[in-house]
A = this chain, B = another copy of it.
Amino acid sequence: MKVNLRHIRYFLALADELNFRRASEFLHISQPALTRTIQDLEAGLAVRLFDRAQNFVRLTDAGRVFREGGRRVMNGLEATIDLTRRVSIGEAGALRVGYTDFAISGELPELLKQFHHKHPGITVRPHHGVTAVQLDELKDDKLDIGFVTGPVRQAGFHSRVVQTDRPICIVPEGHRLAARRSVMLADLAEEDFVHGPADAWAHFYDYLFPLCRKAGFQPNIVQEAFNSVGILGLVSCGMGITILTESTYNFATGGLVPLAITDIADAMVTEAIWASENLRMPTRHFVDFLDERARPEAWNPRT
């Protein structure tokens, strides 16, 4: 005879009550059914679990050990079922997120923070990788969501733009260009520039500096600040001008004037991308999260 969860459930009830009738009522079965189940269990284990008489029922030493173990088994199973259910509806699980340098220095940290707040049961596992590598990993189901520099127009992927980084020029109020709405790159050739942190912003400057060279100049860096807020601060007190991205300008306070740069056509786009088929639940939740997040705030329209 094989031991069953039924045996354990009944045993635990009896071990708590130490009375067949009361335990059987608790279990909503008849007393004889309980008696025989306990007999079956004891026979199956070849172990006497209860000392019983008409007068009293009490656990043997072995019974006490089995009670502890039985409780652990039942609790473990309950926890397992619960976790399994949560994973199946995507309330728990892991989301493997790839990111480029550019993504991680942009919106991604905040995005992941918000996602974690909405789905605290989902563990985000970040993996660094350049765009091409991430696409391969997505195809091989080694990654759920990639944050890559786009736009990617490749079959088998869906994506949402999460960050469009159009460069703008920022000058202090009172600057000679401050009255204009827009400039061309060549207009900035003689200006002093405030520079962002070279390492974290490498992607941006790799993109920007060739454009400047094409416009015929090399930016004259006079100050370097630790982050975008620092850059904007230096600009606002007249140390120079800067070229940053739209999204970075969101952090700006007063005293600054943004100018479009008319001869830079392409924005730098960072998009969340995923393989179209067999979406895992955490991935679905992430996509839904992105869409919900986009809608009310008019953040970025869908691709």
Contacts and interface: CB of A to CB of B under 8 A. Distances in A.
Interface in A71-129: 72-73, 76-77, 79-81, 83-85, 87-88, 93
A80 B72 contact: yes
Contacts of A72: 76, 80
A88 B6 contact: no
A76 to B, nearest CB: 5
Contacts of A48: 88
A65 B47 contact: no
A60 to B, nearest CB: 7
A231 B51 CA distance: 53
Given A73-B80, A80-B70, A93 B61 contact: yes
A162 B58 CA distance: 33
Nearest to A68: B80
A200 B2 CA distance: 55
A47 B60 CA distance: 39
Contacts of A280: 61
A264 interface: no
Chain copies in the assembly?
2
A40 to B, nearest CB: 14
A6 B281 CA distance: 28
Nearest to A82: B69
A72 B280 CA distance: 25
Interface string A5-27: 11010000000000000000000
Contact of A3 (B2, B5, B87): B5
Contacts of A87: 61-62, 65
B6 A4 contact: yes
A45 interface: yes
A76 B79 contact: no
A77 B3 contact: yes
A249 interface: no
Interface of A: 2-6, 8, 45-49, 60-62, 65-66, 68-70, 72-73, 76-77, 79-81, 83-85, 87-88, 93, 280-281
16 contacts: A4-B4, A47-B85, A47-B88, A49-B84, A60-B88, A61-B93, A61-B280, A62-B85, A62-B87, A65-B83, A66-B80, A66-B81, A66-B84, A69-B81, A72-B76, A73-B80
